[in-house]
Structure 1
């Protein structure tokens, strides 16, 4: 549905050339939700604007469906853009227009009749849960409600693709979850393909099928969400994971707990998260597992559990316990000692 091939984007500045996006390859299949995560200045916003050619790539190709958008004449590009909706962090609502008009005006500009416009406004306000807010103004709405209006406006053109540019960054955690639930519903019920950018790992965790980690304009790691959470490879990815769960033990904690020997992270996926592995280990082997940190992540399509444990015992018993856990399908990563 969306394919980027070796896309780069550069800007001229007084200080010289700024390479905002570098040689990016990306493929979002129809009906999937993909996320691009990175810190400020990583190039995320420039990348997503290259998808609908609000920013034309310096080099590379952009495909929407089976059409190479980067080679289309302006009129055909306009038609292709009608297949793409976009929502923003700042909502971009007209302050002096009602909720109805904020959705209706773009439709009228596209030539829709009054009856069709009314039909679509009512339909998509109902989908986003704001059927009773037709005549409200933006300053009468909460942040979450404003974002729902912006989503309804994007959906009213009935796109095949929805681009989300940090759409939850200005919202509190509870409202963020409600918007993410809405995006999941839109994806599942309407079959709309979604590409989003974010700097929040929670967003990736909750809704994404595939993830791209971006740094200095490059994609430094990519893969399924489950792989990202269980087998991160890049230091930037690990930093993001550390924002939602402690992945590293600080030197002060190691010193305070007087840790020696084997400190290990156990990763459980799917059904193994419910298995009493540590109870079995302590029964079968002469080791004492001490739990230092623990958490469970509920991903879009799976569950991942993490335990950091300190294994006390004779080296041979510790080795046997580790081999047993590996045989049970538990992922292990040595952290200290």
Structure 2
């Protein structure tokens, strides 16, 4: 549905050139929710604005449904953009217009008939759950309600692609969860492909099928959300994943425990807490596992858990136990002494 190939973008500032994007390539499949995550300055906002050519890349191609937008005339590009909806962190609502008018005005300007405008506005106000707010003004709405209006406005053109530019970062956790549920509903019931950018890993884990991690204008890691949680490769990806968990083992404790065995992190998917596997390991090998910490988080269609375990025993037996767990699809990683904040890596 979306194909970005070799996208580069440089901005010229007072202090020199800023290379916002460096040869970025991404492929978003029809009907999926694809996330792009990165810290501030990673280039993700520039990337998403290149998809509908709000920012025109210096090099590379931007294809939506097989059509390269960079080669279209102004008129054809305007027509193509009607198939790409976009929602923003700042809502971008007209303060002097009602909910109804904020959604209707873009349709009127695009030349839709009065009847069609009315039908679409009513339809999408209902979909986003604002049936009783037709005549309310933005000042009378909560942040979550404002974002719902913005989503309804984007959906009113009935696009096949929806771009989300940090749409939940200004919202509280409960409201964020509600908006994410709405995006899942839109994706599932309307079949709209969603490309979103965020700096929040909980957004990625909650609704995304696949994810790209960006840093300094480049994609440093990409794949299925499940795979990145199971086995992150780049240090930045590992940092994002570890931020979801609160395992904090003091360095002096780690040093002491490692004298009598090994401290490891076990990562697993599914409903199991990992304890049956540990119980089996105890029976099969001459080791004594002790759970130091544990947590579970929910992905879009699965459950991901981690346990920090001290395996006490002979190194050879510990090695056999780890091999057994890995064969049982449990990802095992040794816990390292932290240099900075004593957080498990």
TM-score by length of 1: 0.96
Tell me the distance in 1 between the aligned counterparts of 2:99 and 2:7: 37
- Which residue of 1 is the match for residue 340 of structure 2? none
Instruction: Tell me, yes or no, if structure 1 residue 10 matches structure 2 residue 7.
Output: no
Tell me the distance in 2 between the aligned counterparts of 1:336 and 1:194: 37
- Which residue of 1 is the match for residue 46 of structure 2? 46
- How do residues 184-263 of structure 1 correspond to structure 2 at under 5 angstroms? 184-246=184-246, 249-255=249-255, 258-260=257-259, 261-263=261-263
- Which residue of 2 is the match for residue 95 of structure 1? 95
Alpha-carbon contact 2:34-2:209 (below 8 Å) kept: yes
- Which residue of 2 is the match for residue 71 of structure 1? 71
Quote the offset at 1:113 in angstroms: 1.2
Tell me the distance in 2 between the aligned counterparts of 1:287 and 1:182: 48
- How do residues 1-337 of structure 1 correspond to structure 2 at under 5 angstroms? 1-246=1-246, 249-255=249-255, 258-260=257-259, 261-270=261-270, 273=273, 276-336=276-336
Q: CA 1:236–1:248 in 2, change beyond 3 Å: closer, same or farther? A: farther
Task: Give the aligned CA root-mean-square deviation in angstroms.
Answer: 1.6
Q: CA 1:253–1:106 in 2, change beyond 3 Å: closer, same or farther? A: farther
Alpha-carbon contact 2:257-2:310 (below 8 Å) kept: no
Alpha-carbon contact 1:242-1:248 (below 8 Å) kept: no
Q: Secondary structure at the match of 1:212?
A: strand
Tell me the distance in 1 between the aligned counterparts of 2:129 and 2:225: 29
Tell me the distance in 2 between the aligned counterparts of 1:143 and 1:194: 21
Alpha-carbon contact 2:231-2:331 (below 8 Å) kept: no
Tell me the distance in 1 between the aligned counterparts of 2:271 and 2:244: 22
Quote the offset at 1:273 in angstroms: 4.8
Q: Secondary structure at the match of 2:132?
A: coil
Tell me the distance in 1 between the aligned counterparts of 2:271 and 2:170: 36
Q: CA 1:316–1:53 in 2, change beyond 3 Å: closer, same or farther? A: same
Tell me the distance in 1 between the aligned counterparts of 2:77 and 2:235: 39
Tell me the distance in 1 between the aligned counterparts of 2:166 and 2:158: 21
Q: CA 1:110–1:252 in 2, change beyond 3 Å: closer, same or farther? A: farther
Q: Secondary structure at the match of 1:132?
A: helix
Quote the offset at 1:285 in angstroms: 2.7
Quote the offset at 1:271 in angstroms: 5.8
Quote the offset at 1:237 in angstroms: 0.6
Alpha-carbon contact 2:211-2:224 (below 8 Å) kept: yes
Q: Secondary structure at the match of 2:121?
A: helix
Tell me the distance in 2 between the aligned counterparts of 1:219 and 1:150: 29
TM-score by length of 2: 0.93
Tell me the distance in 2 between the aligned counterparts of 1:138 and 1:61: 38
Tell me the distance in 1 between the aligned counterparts of 2:44 and 2:229: 21
Quote the offset at 1:107 in angstroms: 0.5
Quote the offset at 1:284 in angstroms: 2.9
Alpha-carbon contact 2:41-2:216 (below 8 Å) kept: yes
Structure 2, unpaired ranges of 5+: 338-345
Quote the offset at 1:241 in angstroms: 1.1
Tell me the distance in 1 between the aligned counterparts of 2:290 and 2:185: 41
Quote the offset at 1:330 in angstroms: 1.5
Alpha-carbon contact 1:220-1:234 (below 8 Å) kept: yes
Quote the offset at 1:303 in angstroms: 1.9
Deviations 1:217-246 (A, max 9, x none): 111111110011011001111111121114
Q: CA 1:43–1:252 in 2, change beyond 3 Å: closer, same or farther? A: farther
Q: CA 1:109–1:252 in 2, change beyond 3 Å: closer, same or farther? A: farther
Deviations 1:310-333 (A, max 9, x none): 101122332332232223222211
